[in-house]
Amino acid sequence: MEEANSNNSKAYLIAIIVQLIYTGMFVFSKAAFDHGINTYVFIFYRQAAASILLLPIALVAERKNLRSLLSPRLLLKLFLLALVGITFSLNLYNVSLNFTSATVASAATNAMPAVTFCFALLLKMESVRPRSSSGAAKLAGVSLCLAGVLVIAFYLGPALSPVNHHHAFSTTGAAAAAPSAATSSSRRTWVKGTFLIVLANMAWSLWIVLQGRLLREYPNKMLVTVAQCVFSAVQCFVAAVAAERDFSKWQLRLDITLLAVLYTGLVVTGVTYYLQAWCVEMKGPVFFATWTPLSFVFTMFSSSFFLSEIVHLGSIVGGILLVAGLYSVLWGKSKEANRQIAPCDNNVNTAAAHAADDGEENSNQRHHKAQEKTASATIVEQV
């Protein structure tokens, strides 16, 4: 019981840490794009850095298990997972981030609980009973998450002053991305970017669900993570060459761009993917996805402080709806977990009661036999 509570605490802590790391990813990536690096080249550098970090560690730590990874069927699954959840999702996401802002990208990511829940429901990894309180809470939470995303996307409201006017990372071009200053053309670009973010998050949600199923078949999180990093690095190189054939623009400078590559490659891809795989294996894909609204709250403050992005009232209202949806889904899942544990406890108590009854019955039988032996001995002595 204590071990189960310890694992639950670790899962909650890891989920929060992952969202903090993703906050840094939103801010650093947007700052790098504002400095002019090609998004496809950036993703290739990110995945290459992660592969360089993780591959030697995996070869040393998991050398005894490498043979099991050489199954053509498993390698094909990992290749396709990397293609959908990393190469396609990340490239699409970064193109959309270049069109919008870190706050909007983080806000749109909060549609993941709804999308992941739908995918898990279709793949029969999750179930819902609308008439039960837990099922109604999960559905209400998903609805609140979707409502929050829609509010953020379509309602701006009054603009709030940046937390820090002397921003550290943004450039003059970054300020032009503010929705309040958008022209008709830039507004269409903003809508297109938001649509691309949602599409990228759908691919990401599908990847989370499919990875959860793969880890049941092959539970080695380190090798699964490293194999996908290597596959995605190769795939992203092909995409980057197709998008930017002028290799003079591939050069990294000693500025925020290099810092963003190192952070996203070593910390986000290298560390977070492993922690995420551990969390998905422990608590399931929907549990992990429901924590994504926290990154919106963190990113809204961080982007305002570091990038001097303008935050609107609509973002705050949407954030409140997202947090309400988060805790509604968590409450529903917690209630379902307690309902599943209760029958097990009842069965254990029933078995213990039966065992106690059997023990008492055996004790009585032994007592009667002892009395019979004593009586027999007494009769023999009298004779």
Mean pLDDT of 368-378: 43
Res 252: pLDDT: 85
Band the pLDDT of 330: cuts 50, 70, 90: confident
Band the pLDDT of 45: cuts 50, 70, 90: very high
Band the pLDDT of 361: cuts 50, 70, 90: very low
Res 88: pLDDT: 93
Burial class (CB in 10 A: 0-12, 13-18, 19+), 78: buried
**pTM score over 0.75:** no
Q: Which residue has the higher pLDDT, 360 or 207?
A: 207
Structure token digits, residue 78: 């990992």
pLDDT tens digits along 53-75 = 888 988 888 888 777 777 888 89
R_g over Cα of the chain: 28
Angle at 27 between CA 21 and CA 31, to 5 degrees: 140
Res 233: pLDDT: 94
> Which amino acid does the sequence have at 238?
V
The region of weakest confidence among 20-24, 87-91, 370-374 is 370-374
Quick one: three-class SS letters along the chain? CHHHHHHHHHHHHHHHHHHHHHHHHHHHHHHHHHCCCCHHHHHHHHHHHHHHHHHHHHHHHCHHHHHHHCCHHHHHHHHHHHHHHHHHHHHHHHHHHHHCCHHHHHHHHHHHHHHHHHHHHHCCCCCCCCCCHHHHHHHHHHHHHHHHHHHHHHCCCCEECCCCCCCCCCCHHHHCCCHHHCCHHHHHHHHHHHHHHHHHHHHHHHHHHHHHHHHHHCCCHHHHHHHHHHHHHHHHHHHHHHHCCCHHHHCCCCCHHHHHHHHHHHHHHHHHHHHHHHHHHHHCHHHHHCCCHHHHHHHHHHHHHHCCCCEEHHHHHHHHHHHHHHHHHHHHHHHHHHHHHHHHHHHHHHHHHHHHHHHHHHHHHHHHHHHHHHHHHHHHHHC
pLDDT tens digits along 335-356 = 877 776 655 555 545 544 454 4
Res 380: pLDDT: 31
pLDDT tops 70 at residue 239:
yes
Mean pLDDT of 18-37: 87
Q: Alpha-carbon distance 194 to 151, whole Å?
A: 13
Q: Which residue has the higher pLDDT, 109 or 5?
A: 109
Q: In this structure, are residues 126 and 116 in contact, taking their beta carbons and an 8 Å threshold?
A: no
pLDDT tops 80 at residue 327:
no
pLDDT tops 90 at residue 240:
yes
Res 299: pLDDT: 84
pLDDT tens digits along 280-314 = 778 877 777 778 778 877 887 887 777 777 777 87
Mean pLDDT of 261-277: 82
Q: In this structure, are residues 96 and 295 in contact, taking their beta carbons and an 8 Å threshold?
A: no
Res 146: pLDDT: 80
Band the pLDDT of 94: cuts 50, 70, 90: confident
Structure token digits, residue 358: 């059997």
pLDDT tens digits along 175-184 = 444 454 445 5
Q: In this structure, are residues 245 and 45 in contact, taking their beta carbons and an 8 Å threshold?
A: no
Res 377: pLDDT: 38
Q: What percent of the chain has pLDDT over 90?
A: 10
Q: What percent of the chain has pLDDT over 70?
A: 78
Band the pLDDT of 166: cuts 50, 70, 90: low
Strand partners, 311: 160
pLDDT tens digits along 211-221 = 888 888 887 87
Res 381: pLDDT: 32
Give pairs for 317-321: CB < 8 Å, separation 24+: 317/148, 317/151, 317/155, 317/157, 318/107, 318/147, 318/148, 318/149, 318/150, 318/151, 318/152, 318/155, 319/107, 319/148, 319/152, 319/293, 320/148, 321/144, 321/145, 321/147, 321/148, 321/151
